[in-house]
A = this chain, B = another copy of it.
Amino acid sequence: MHTVGHFINGQHVNDPNARTQPVFDPALGVATRQVALASTATVQSAIAAAEAAFPAWRETPPSKRARIMFRFKQLLEERAEQLCALITAEHGKVLSDALGELQRGIENVEFACYAPELLKGEHSKNVGPAIDSWSEFQPLGVVAGITPFNFPAMVPLWMWPLAVVCGNTFVLKPSEKTPSSTLFLVELAKEAGLPDGVLNIVNGDKEAVDALIDSPVVQAISFVGSTPIAESIYTRGCATGKRVQALGGAKNHAVVMPDADLDNAVSALMGAAYGSCGERCMAIPVVVAVGDAVGDALAERLAAALKQMKVGPGTEPGNDMGPLVTPAHFEKVKGYVDAGVAEGATLVVDGRQTRIASAPEGFFLGGCLFDHVKPGMTIYRDEIFGPVLSIVRVGSLDEAMALIDAHEYGNGTCLFTRDGEAARYFTDRIKVGMVGVNVPLPVPVSFHSFGGWKRSLFGDLSAYGPDGVRFYTRRKTITQRWPSSGVREKAVFTFPSNQ
């Protein structure tokens, strides 16, 4: 069985003695590869490679760094099929969805190409008499990224392209569940001309994560994963003086108003709830119906739509939804559906009996739809990360908003309406970082930034986009005057001001 290893200083690295872990093909339901789990020493060698590559990379003009990203984008487009096949083989999502993921990732590479524009500082002439001042945004040094299984191409592409065009060098620890596509990305980056050591991958588990956090060389960590881990990494990383941005869980609500275009909303909700099996931090697992008429209509139309949804292996054309990622995750999600029934929610559509003839061992769970879900229930409170959509009914927009604001998470949300005032009222006040109006997955485009509120993000700065640039650079402010020949100036003991 093939072992997926590390990529350090431009070379594939494999330690035959390393611990390993199986990697599944979730449609087949069997482990098809294994992944090496880096030791502390392996992580340290990756950090050392990044540290060694930093001085020369720092001096490379931003426009030259960006040019490598131009070539990298081209390679990603040329090898998209190969890359998406790797994503689907380990994650399970349908190929068209893998392509959507990749395209979003490519958009982040495009943004990284803007580096010369993004790194401009502010220049002020005459802040005092003949004194000028300007800011520079300098790279931090070695930075690290830790990324989740659900977007093995996209989330790494949120991080390292931007970090490296800013002049940093990078150590990436991707998810051990889906390592192959991420590794392939890095091979392409080398092919695009990225110097050895600028980008390194270590596969691994907690030992690798700890080695990154504990390293005094690592200046910053970007993390995407679950909230408990995000919080832990944030707290520990901050305590070691690193800058950390740690993105955690979500429970995104869509609110459907009585004036909404219901067919449109149902179509949007189907994709947002069940696409990628709900394994997205921007998925919509809760729809809040304003009024029972809306609730009844949604229940009926979503149930009808679920009957049309095609579940099966991601590699088969025409399927809408593939399997869950691992057997453990399959059991966990199924357990939530059981709990929902036990807690009294109405299970309108039950996907638990779904069997796929062409893939009988796969981790397939059909789409599930609950109605009359209440805030106290487990299926409402927890992030399920599976194909389970809950309808909650409320009497007014204010009530819907109170519900959302009371939830632990504040990642994304969406309002379906035709009314300008409702949209403004909702987007202004809701305590959520990414808000859609008739857009079910309001993932900001690559030239804006991604960030939730409340316990969905720990840190000051959002991911990618303009905030990403700030996160991966350190401000330096220079104040300069030149002496006039022959002019003697007397000492100034008072605090200088530009009065």
**Per-position contact with B for A106-122: 1 when CB-CB < 8 Å, else 0?**
01001101101111111
Interface membership of A241, Cβ < 8 A: yes
| Copies of this polypeptide in the complex | 4
Are B476 and A435 in contact (CB-based, < 8 A)?
yes
CA–CA, A193 and B48, complex, Å: 44
A477 in complex: contacting residue of B118, B424, B434, CB < 8 Å: B434
**A34, chain B: closest CB distance, angstroms:** 28
A70 in complex: contacting residue of B73, B135, B435, CB < 8 Å: B73
Instruction: Give every chain B residue within 8 A of A125 (Cβ-Cβ).
Output: 62, 119, 121, 136, 138, 428
Chain A at the B interface: mostly helix, strand, loop or mixed? mixed
Interface membership of A374, Cβ < 8 A: no
CA–CA, A45 and B116, complex, Å: 39
Given A113-B114, A435-B477, A477-B434, does the pair A234, B243 have CB atoms closer than 8 Å?
A: no
**Residues of chain A in range 81-134 having any CB-CB distance to chain B below 8 Å:** 94, 96-97, 99-101, 103-104, 107, 110-111, 113-114, 116-134
Are A447 and B116 in contact (CB-based, < 8 A)?
yes
Interface membership of A485, Cβ < 8 A: yes
Instruction: Give every chain B residue within 8 A of A101 (Cβ-Cβ).
Output: 495
**A434, chain B: closest CB distance, angstroms:** 5
Interface membership of A381, Cβ < 8 A: no
CA–CA, A13 and B168, complex, Å: 50
Are A480 and B321 in contact (CB-based, < 8 A)?
no
Interface membership of A499, Cβ < 8 A: yes
Interface-located stretch among A203-211, A352-360, A456-464: A456-464
Are A498 and B70 in contact (CB-based, < 8 A)?
no
Are B483 and A445 in contact (CB-based, < 8 A)?
no
CA–CA, A481 and B267, complex, Å: 15
**Residues of chain A in range 446-472 having any CB-CB distance to chain B below 8 Å:** 446-451, 453, 455, 458-462, 466-467, 470-471
Interface membership of A474, Cβ < 8 A: yes
Are A123 and B103 in contact (CB-based, < 8 A)?
no
A241 in complex: contacting residue of B97, B123, B455, B470, CB < 8 Å: B455
Interface membership of A7, Cβ < 8 A: no
Are B128 and A61 in contact (CB-based, < 8 A)?
yes
Are A492 and B437 in contact (CB-based, < 8 A)?
no
Are A445 and B73 in contact (CB-based, < 8 A)?
no
Given A280-B495, A482-B420, A491-B305, does the pair A475, B433 have CB atoms closer than 8 Å?
A: yes
**A216, chain B: closest CB distance, angstroms:** 12
Q: Can you spell out 23 A-B residue pairs with CB atoms less than 8 angstroms apart?
A: A62-B124, A96-B494, A99-B494, A107-B497, A116-B127, A122-B123, A122-B466, A127-B445, A132-B424, A271-B494, A271-B496, A275-B495, A417-B420, A419-B482, A421-B482, A424-B482, A427-B478, A433-B474, A433-B475, A434-B477, A438-B483, A450-B477, A460-B460
Known: A70-B73, A134-B134, A445-B498. 12 other contacts (CB 8 A): A64-B498, A121-B123, A122-B448, A136-B428, A231-B241, A267-B491, A271-B493, A321-B493, A435-B477, A437-B482, A442-B477, A444-B479
Chain A interface residues toward B at CB < 8 A: 59-64, 66-67, 70, 73-74, 94, 96-97, 99-101, 103-104, 107, 110-111, 113-114, 116-136, 138, 154, 231, 234-235, 238-239, 241, 243, 260-261, 263-264, 266-268, 270-271, 274-276, 280, 305, 309, 320-321, 417-421, 423-425, 427-428, 432-439, 441-451, 453, 455, 458-462, 466-467, 470-471, 474-485, 487-499
